[in-house]
């Protein structure tokens, strides 16, 4: 069966990320332009999805969107919008720039020339569809270095099990709509949390970042574009971390002290690079799997069945349709309260015990002279 008979789309939309947003190029099977190339700010993803729908289904065309593996921010919202999204991997593409993805034109051209090459992404498969075994091998290979970093206090998955506290963590934000909804739920329950933000969204939505910190929550670094880290050079990985730290500092006045690798990537090469950074690698021990959109009830059940004292819970607020997470959050917080578990920030969860107060020194009796009665005046 030919590639076309297997469902080759009529046109390809290459979407590239840049320092300040996205660029889009749409071509047909012959490489002819279908639309004028466009640029979109990082906060305009919903508008980008609507535009792609108009170019494709709105004109009776089968359209597929192609991203590269350094862009983990768009497959979630675009698949949620009903678009056909594919991922092109480095060995099929020209060299990337020092910061940014392969150009939109190159992505579209490579996909149309080899339409069977890009991996199809779905909400259930996530961004790493077809590379799951590679990911698992990388985690296994990095176990020794991860253990060394953990022993040095440079990597954490959970806190102490003898404290009835947990840390709820939200990745991939901020989001122009859902961040404030999550903050409202947390406020109603008197809960504190940690938000691992991506630089692309921080730069586009600084007011949402301020909203998080003003509500008493904590920020962490989650890279700039949510890439699959093994596909980056060490210099590119450091650039992602440094630019995100700088973007957060411009808003809040301070850089975050924690970095969460996208997807939890932990190859020896990635961990060796992270060891040279000034941040603590922060993972999790409870995965809500909310990114797969299994339903709010399932998300809450997954968390509450796995959580225990000291747990770090992985949730998401951005880079996709996270409405189910918002709907699940009240049940998660109520379940934690029923179990006597307090949601706190990571800094609170991982804080050392305060030193015991030294007892007050015992008072030494002091011999006081006994007064001798003098003569009595008459």
Task: Please give the positions annotated as active site.
Answer: 171, 316
23 bridge partner residues: 16, 39
- What is the CB neighbour count within 10 angstroms for residue 351? 14
* C-alpha to C-alpha distance for 201 and 299, rounded to whole angstroms: 25
Q: Are 354 and 323 in contact (CB under 8 A)?
A: no
| H or E element at residue 312 | strand 312-316
Dihedral (CA of 304, 306, 311, 314) sign: negative
SS3 173: strand
- What is the CB neighbour count within 10 angstroms for residue 63? 22
SS3 37: coil
Supply the DSSP string of 52-116, one letter for each residue. HHHHTGGGT--EEEEEETT--SSHHHHHHTT-EEEEE-GGGSPPPPSSS-S-HHHHHHHHHHSTT
Rounded (to 5) percent helix, strand, coil in the chain: 40, 20, 45
Q: Among residues 123, 324, 99, 130, which one has the least CA distance to residue 227?
A: 99
């Amino acid at each position: 069966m030919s590639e076309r008979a297997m469902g080759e789309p009529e046109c390809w939309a290459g979407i590239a990320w840049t320092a300040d947003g996205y660029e889009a190029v749409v071509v047909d099977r012959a490489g002819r332009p279908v639309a004028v190339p466009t640029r979109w700010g990082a906060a305009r993803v919903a508008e980008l999805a609507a535009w792609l729908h108009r170019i494709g289904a709105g004109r009776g065309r089968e359209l597929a969107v192609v991203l590269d593996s350094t862009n983990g921010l768009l497959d979630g919202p675009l698949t949620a919008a009903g678009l056909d999204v594919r991922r092109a991997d480095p060995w099929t593409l020209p060299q990337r720039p020092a910061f940014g993805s392969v150009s939109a034109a190159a992505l579209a051209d490579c996909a149309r020339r080899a339409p069977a090459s890009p991996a199809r992404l779905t909400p259930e498969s996530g961004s790493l569809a077809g590379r799951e075994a590679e990911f698992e091998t990388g985690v296994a290979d990095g176990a020794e270095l991860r253990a060394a970093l953990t022993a040095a206090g440079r990597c954490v998955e959970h806190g102490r099990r003898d404290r009835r506290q947990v840390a709820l963590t939200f990745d991939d934000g901020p989001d122009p709509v859902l961040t404030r909804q999550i903050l409202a739920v947390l406020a109603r329950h008197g809960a504190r949390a940690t938000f691992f933000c991506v630089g692309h969204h921080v730069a586009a939505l600084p007011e949402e970042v301020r909203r998080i910190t003003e509500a008493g929550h904590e920020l962490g670094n989650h890279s700039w574009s949510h890439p699959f880290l093994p596909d980056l050079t060490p210099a590119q990985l450091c650039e992602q971390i440094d630019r995100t730290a700088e973007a957060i500092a411009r808003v809040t006045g301070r850089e975050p002290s924690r970095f969460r690798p996208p997807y939890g990537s932990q190859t020896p090469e990635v961990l060796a690079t992270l060891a040279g950074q000034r941040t603590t690698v922060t993972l999790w021990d409870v995965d809500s799997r909310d990114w797969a959109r299994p339903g709010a009830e399932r998300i809450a059940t997954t968390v509450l069945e796995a959580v225990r004292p000291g747990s770090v819970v992985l949730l998401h607020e951005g880079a996709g349709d996270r409405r189910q997470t918002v709907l699940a959050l009240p049940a998660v917080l109520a379940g934690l309260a029923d179990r006597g578990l307090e949601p706190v920030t990571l800094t609170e969860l991982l804080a050392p015990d305060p030193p015991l107060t030294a007892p007050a020194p015992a008072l030494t009796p002091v011999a006081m002279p006994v007064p001798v009665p003098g003569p009595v005046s008459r």
